[in-house]
Structure 1
Amino acid sequence: MRRESGRIPRRSFALLVLVLGTLTATGPLATDLYLPAFPDIARELDAPQAQIQLTLTAIMLGLSLGQLVIGPLSDAVGRRRPLLVGFALFTVASFACALVPSAPALVALRFVQGVAGASGAVIARAVVRDVFEGDEAARFFSRLMLVTGLAPLLGPVLGAQLLRFGPWQVSFVLLGAVSLVSLVVVFFALPETLPGSVRRPFRVVSLARTVWSLVRDVRFVGPALTLGLAFAMMFTYVSSFSFVSQSQFGASQQAFALMFGINTAGLMAGTQVNGFLIGRVDTSRRLAAGLCGALLAVGVLGALALGGVSGPWALVALTSVFCVMMFSVGFVLPNATTLAISSQSPAVAGTASALMGSLQFALGGGLSSLAGWTASGEASLASMAVVMGSVGLLAGGVFAVSARWAVRPAS
């Protein structure tokens, strides 16, 4: 840990995990909290399933575009101010989502939520780069995912319980309250971690040069693309399984929430096993193992879809397969993030984090929507398997090629 790059000492490691975990958890919570209410929202707003799924795509695209601005801005003015403005806007947008009269209005506000919520994801990664290096960064990212993993774990479960006591709008009211708490946490508990001496003026020409150097650096773009494609594979499951489990397999909202919670626990377990292996197994090998495990699980999913899985044990089998996939993705996400971010200097950490996060959410929001491109206009288990398998294979290919090219000059 580099003590001079920021004002956060080693003894505050746990506090930093908690603070940054709160920031990065807000985005996943915004994504997952209302998933069990998808059918209810479609009925109340008189909108087709595809239009309600666009609310997920909208927040993902907002997260993608927002990071492109907020990341470089944080390199110029520091980390705190963009965070405070971003969470203030996210709070307002969340409360406004509870008042929408139509699906298009909800899609628009979800986009605003994404742009504002991007501040938490991109700046949290930049703060880690400000303070940690190498295996310390990988270890911190693994611990951070333990905290942030609680959001997608609890999100659908909490959302399903909220539906027992109130309409779907309550979920967005809760999101606004959580965002307000995050705003207070940032204000009182997160010091500035980027010294003025290493800040870079926000100039378009300078930004363009930095971005161009990043996209030409195989040490960065290889892991970043791998991260984005692996995230797209995972997000295909996140965005489609709510409809598929309830419409194709007859699961209740409570059953879906339970399955989603089990699978997210698999993701959290994967990140912690990955953390245990740091210093014992090379980062690239841990990442490769995660990709292989995820592809194996998706292959089984495809076999179940082709076999026409049905009956009372179908949901148990699917939950088991998705849990293995999520466990494996728990290796991919922190290691790909570490390889990409650690390859760059702290002076461009915000821009690198923004580009990586933008790519991640653009691929996640764009490619996952392909699962709904069926004759019926609705996602199915088969379409999920096709998209997830194709994207997973592409992620493995990108990582293999980029890893080979990254070591080529040295050899």
Structure 2
Amino acid sequence: MNDPQPTPTAPTESALPRYRPGIKYILMLGAIAAIPAITTDIYLPSLTDVRDELATTDAMVAMTMSGMLIGGAVGQLMWGPLTDRYGRKAPLLVGLALHIITSLLCAIAPNITILVTLRIMQGFFNAACAVAAISVIRDRFVGATAARLLSQLMLVIGVAPLFAPSVGGAIASFGSWRTVFLALAIIGAIMAVIVARFLPETLAEDHRLTGGVGRVAKGYWTLAKDRKFLALAMLPALAMTTIFAYVVGSPFVFQEHYGLSTSQYAVLFAMNGLAMVFSAQLNASLVRKFSPESLLRVGLGLQLVLALALVLWGATGWGGFWTFEVTLWLLLGCQGLIGANAQVLALANYGHMVGTAAAVLGSLQSGVAGAVSPMVGVFGGDALAMAAVIAAGLILANLIVVFGTDLTQAGRKARARTTLQRAIKEREIGDSTHG
């Protein structure tokens, strides 16, 4: 019988080889990671056309969007272990190939049921892109360097959704909504060629995990038992909830409540998107001087204050449109301090199974955001509903930071008390056993 392989240890920043990624490398990884977002947003202008041609309802058409989130949440849990076992490049190429196939099938879908099913599959398959991109960075970088590169990655990912709806609308104007899916297949093919030619494999053979389903289950069980990891993993998920609550509620808030036209709303959406892009770039600069822990605490604290102000403006109508919009812009402008820093801290101890850990992070983001963001509509779809959902998520995020992590003084004290209580209990058990 073969001896079990020792579990590789997570590399430290000093132990990793020196590597200075260029702008082309960051753009390539950003484009790979942005494929799920592009696949979702490029299709937005075509929703009414799909409804009319397939003779269906708004609710069923909306399922073609939420289906992407559902598929992505489940898919990342599969692709993560695969990237830890077979390397980053091969699973990524398989995921891109399946993305191309499902995009072509979406283009010829005869009814809404088949289209929804294919969109779930599409989300499942292109989930490989997000997992692989984050894993490639974590293979080579940790700490502040990884946080800076992830922020630059988020910068590229953040730009894509700003232009994807406009590009999708232009493509559909030359054909139909089916043409948009042909374009997605072409994008997938281009990225597959780029990955095959220019993306090096970053996971060495001797660092790959072996074993079958049992090993995968053991990896997920290890993560499930790590309360600090789970606490940190929830922070990007709740940050994503803020974004999706805004995306879901903003058309109703700004077009119906504040009376903006379609073109005015499009400009506003781009402006608010730029706030997130700028903050990601700001975080990339700040992590050179401040720790990811500090930036995460500050970002979540500022967001909570701004979210509570949004609730007040939404409830009272005080200050009108500009007060609400400026507060929202500032709140979205703190997003860059949350996701990248929380991900780096969560992955810090799991360099030996980063694909699996990144899969849990991504799955929680898609799952939590997909489950919570519809609450905006449930609570009325107005400014107060959107602000309340955002504020609730941020209250929970700040409570997690204080009581679920050691990122604050209170959290460190709580962790010390737990450790002390565990030690006392173990000693009491030991004494009773010896007695």
CA distance in 2, matches of 1:159, 1:109: 19
The one-letter amino acid paired with 2:266 is: A
Q: Per the alignment, in what secondary structure is the counterpart of residue 210 of structure 1?
A: helix
Of 355, 379, 382, 1:350 maps to 355
Judging changes above 3 Å, is the alpha-carbon distance between structure 1 residues 357 and 281 closer, same or farther for their aligned structure 2 residues? same
The range that moved more, 363-372 or 150-159, is 150-159
Judging changes above 3 Å, is the alpha-carbon distance between structure 1 residues 374 and 361 closer, same or farther for their aligned structure 2 residues? same
CA distance in 2, matches of 1:177, 1:249: 39
Q: Given that residues 219 and 339 in structure 1 are in contact (C-alpha distance below 8 angstroms), is that contact kept between their aligned partners in structure 2?
A: no
The range that moved more, 213-222 or 129-138, is 213-222
Judging changes above 3 Å, is the alpha-carbon distance between structure 1 residues 247 and 93 closer, same or farther for their aligned structure 2 residues? farther
Q: Which residue of 2 aligns with 1:193?
A: 202
CA distance in 2, matches of 1:278, 1:322: 24
Q: Which residue of 2 aligns with 1:402?
A: 404
Q: Which residue of 1 aligns with 2:338?
A: 332
Q: CA deviation at 1:354?
A: 0.7
1:167-207 deviation per Cα after TM superposition (whole angstroms, max 9, x unaligned): 43333332222222111111111111111111111422222
In structure 1, stretches of 5+ residues that fail to align are none
Of 374, 393, 404, 1:369 maps to 374
Q: Which residue of 2 aligns with 1:177?
A: 186
In structure 2, stretches of 5+ residues that fail to align are 1-11, 421-435
The range that moved more, 164-173 or 100-109, is 164-173
The one-letter amino acid paired with 1:361 is: S
CA distance in 2, matches of 1:267, 1:104: 35
Q: Per the alignment, in what secondary structure is the counterpart of residue 149 of structure 1?
A: helix
The one-letter amino acid paired with 1:333 is: G
Q: Given that residues 61 and 361 in structure 1 are in contact (C-alpha distance below 8 angstroms), is that contact kept between their aligned partners in structure 2?
A: yes
Of 56, 69, 72, 2:65 maps to 56
Judging changes above 3 Å, is the alpha-carbon distance between structure 1 residues 348 and 406 closer, same or farther for their aligned structure 2 residues? farther
Q: Per the alignment, in what secondary structure is the counterpart of residue 61 of structure 2?
A: helix
CA distance in 2, matches of 1:246, 1:42: 21
Q: CA deviation at 1:108?
A: 1.4
Q: CA deviation at 1:162?
A: 4.3
Q: Which residue of 1 aligns with 2:309?
A: 300
Q: CA deviation at 1:38?
A: 3.5
Q: CA deviation at 1:95?
A: 2.9
Judging changes above 3 Å, is the alpha-carbon distance between structure 1 residues 4 and 188 closer, same or farther for their aligned structure 2 residues? farther
CA distance in 1, matches of 2:39, 2:63: 14
The one-letter amino acid paired with 1:400 is: V
Judging changes above 3 Å, is the alpha-carbon distance between structure 1 residues 36 and 383 closer, same or farther for their aligned structure 2 residues? farther
Judging changes above 3 Å, is the alpha-carbon distance between structure 1 residues 4 and 403 closer, same or farther for their aligned structure 2 residues? closer
CA distance in 2, matches of 1:252, 1:160: 17
Q: Which residue of 2 aligns with 1:388?
A: 390
The range that moved more, 105-114 or 58-67, is 105-114
Q: Per the alignment, in what secondary structure is the counterpart of residue 303 of structure 1?
A: helix
Judging changes above 3 Å, is the alpha-carbon distance between structure 1 residues 123 and 104 closer, same or farther for their aligned structure 2 residues? same
CA distance in 2, matches of 1:171, 1:89: 17
Q: Which has the higher contact order (CA 8 A, sep 6+)?
A: 1
Q: CA deviation at 1:309?
A: 7.9
The range that moved more, 247-256 or 49-58, is 247-256
Q: Per the alignment, in what secondary structure is the counterpart of residue 400 of structure 2?
A: helix
Count of residues paired in the alignment: 402
CA distance in 1, matches of 2:60, 2:387: 22
Q: Which residue of 1 aligns with 2:7?
A: none
CA distance in 2, matches of 1:240, 1:102: 28
Of 322, 329, 345, 1:323 maps to 329
CA distance in 2, matches of 1:65, 1:150: 25
Identity value in percent: 32
CA distance in 2, matches of 1:78, 1:68: 15
Give the TM-score taking structure 2 as reference length.
0.84
- CA RMSD of the aligned region, Å? 2.7
Q: CA deviation at 1:130?
A: 0.7
Judging changes above 3 Å, is the alpha-carbon distance between structure 1 residues 323 and 99 closer, same or farther for their aligned structure 2 residues? farther
CA distance in 2, matches of 1:40, 1:302: 35
Alignment of 1:163-242 (within 5 A): 165-242=174-251
